[in-house]
Structure 1
């Protein structure tokens, strides 16, 4: 892994762009190149290059509305004498913090460090925080689990028409925003599994409802996935000793219904299913301590079902 600090990107990509933008704006407001150089802390030769467009900078910043607005404010302030270097620096530091919060600097950082992609990284904004680490771990686990799911033999045949999903809750999750899943669900296309995006929190109410019900019953159970109900898989679950639990497809408050069924069982089952109803596809949930654990259980069910044929 290549370690790249966001501050490096600020120096190498952001600062030259903003200086070029400011030089142009100040020149348009009637400042001489020498005056511009004094304000920006660069040489007159550098200002000449900025104004001529020789140092074009990064279009991500040039086109960013926050950057454009800040440069305009600083240019107006410096040209009118209503703003000094301290004021301009304060404006720029505020802008940098904004651009680090899921803005262009954050985008560039993820490009330079691909390991950050899909983790919802906000280290620049919040600093090191155990809660942030927990969120990163959950997102990484769901991402790995989704890829494993996609490579599970015969998985395409198990994806319902409405798609499937896989989710995992944070410890002590309170609602669906504390459950990470794949936005837009996972679909089967031409016999292949398509994962449309990296996981996000609050991306699936359907799976989150099941995960939250499971976690309320057993805090150690934080992962789940949904597939189409399949008799061979249910038979495989019985053969493996998982005792599938049936629940009502038409129950209005599914979360409450699942909690009641789990309480009746006295535990969260590895496999819970319904056989569908009018307008409702038959669905099976596979539960695990983590999202990866749920995929592992599904793999066991698929292997057992194939051996039994």
Structure 2
């Protein structure tokens, strides 16, 4: 059993803090041990009161927990004062446990959750963090530059700000861009080992969702505890969080809380339903000579075994389209690699299907305003896997040409000697992918 230590505020509303930390860790098979640093009295609109715990009591609880459990990672959330942060980090760092720190300073409602001097003293201990995960407002506090407003920050400024934080804190920084008001995507920037990496998902509309920052950092800590490298842990965490946001539910006053992530059962059911629908409307001449497959990944997928496909493929039999098998995880290596590569660029793009290539279909996709990109197998370097290289090449070229962070709806190649030309339709889910395929079919 993997044990995760969660240190942070106790929010009795159950929507944030160590309660949500415990919830998400359990969702992914970890056992959480939670130590409260403060009890916050909050409504969904206001922070009413904060009852800070004495630092000696917190450290006592911490040492007892360390004596009983072998922790694989630690997530630190709300700590009211720099004294608590410095003492907690000192006690944990001596144990050699990776620390993920989410510097919670302001509640979703806008109320303060820390003393004024916490932000300026984080740099005193930041070199001991495996990762720090501020949002834009918290990042501005740490940089002591609150003249900017998160709603007015561009993507380029987000990147620049993340680099400034990395230089000041001297540890890996994941700057969360969920507060970029004018963006259709939720964009986060990782600065680590002199490199910059973007993590993208579609922004989900539908009211205020509490606890997302707490959940995100705890998910990262959980996947680190399971042995994932930092970038993989972040990608899996962002995918899992996106699924939980999609499954969020209302608790009134335009406020939502995180729901359960999609699991194997949900993926198989969605793919089974899509398969039944697909064979009813798809013309047989859309099926390539090599057959078709449709793949759908778990929200945190990084391996083929975490992607569900059709065992036996989808084939043409006369004028009919037939499925020769059933949904099964690990069933399609080819389409799994398409999906996993797309998810490296946008964790929300979890589904893909392949259909027969024709120039007529490509022109139809353009006329429908679908986002279209392609790659040439003739340019493929030696020693690479075609799907990983080709899908990545198409996405990067599309982004460069459009200046966006979008992933194309359609990625095609014209084949090569012994390789059939192919079109791949990508989307967030089987329902989304079939909607795009149906539009193409009905437009031709």
TM-score range, shorter-chain basis? 0.5 to 0.7
Question: Partners of 1:157 and 1:249 in 2: how far apart?
Answer: 24
Q: For each residue in 1:82-116, what CA deviation from the matched residue of structure 2 results, as whole angstroms up to 9, or x when unmatched?
A: xxxxxxxxxxxxxxxxxxxxxxxxxxxxxxxxxxx
Residue in structure 2 matched with residue 261 of structure 1 by the alignment: 394
Residue in structure 1 matched with residue 353 of structure 2 by the alignment: 225
1:153 Cα offset (Å)? 4.1
Deviates more, 1:138-147 or 1:248-257: 248-257
Question: Partners of 1:230 and 1:185 in 2: how far apart?
Answer: 21
What is the number of equivalent residue pairs in this alignment? Answer: 174
Question: Partners of 1:287 and 1:258 in 2: how far apart?
Answer: 11
Residue 426 of structure 2: which of 261, 269, 287 is its match? 287
Q: For each residue in 1:229-255, what CA deviation from the matched residue of structure 2 results, as whole angstroms up to 9, or x when unmatched?
A: 022221111001114211123534221
- Normalised by the length of structure 2, the TM-score is 0.38
1:256 Cα offset (Å)? 3.0
Question: Partners of 1:237 and 1:291 in 2: how far apart?
Answer: 18
- Normalised by the length of structure 1, the TM-score is 0.54
1:146 Cα offset (Å)? 1.3
Question: Partners of 2:377 and 2:305 in 1: how far apart?
Answer: 24
Residue 343 of structure 2: which of 215, 228, 237 is its match? 215
Residue in structure 1 matched with residue 72 of structure 2 by the alignment: none
Higher relative contact order (CA 8 A, sep 6+): 1
Aligned residue for 2:416, secondary structure, equals coil
Trace 1:1-309 onto structure 2 (pairs within 5 A).
134-154=263-283, 156-249=284-377, 251=380, 252-253=384-385, 254-266=387-399, 267-305=406-444
- Does the CA-based 8 Å contact 1:167-1:224 persist in structure 2? yes
Larger radius of gyration: 1
Provide closer, same or farther for how the CA distance between residues 257 and 153 of structure 1 changes in structure 2, counting only shifts above 3 A.
closer
1:176 Cα offset (Å)? 1.0
Greater share of strand residues, 1 or 2? Answer: 2
Identify unmatched segments of 5+ residues in structure 1: 1-129
- Does the CA-based 8 Å contact 1:249-1:280 persist in structure 2? no
Question: Partners of 1:210 and 1:248 in 2: how far apart?
Answer: 15
Greater share of helix residues, 1 or 2? Answer: 1
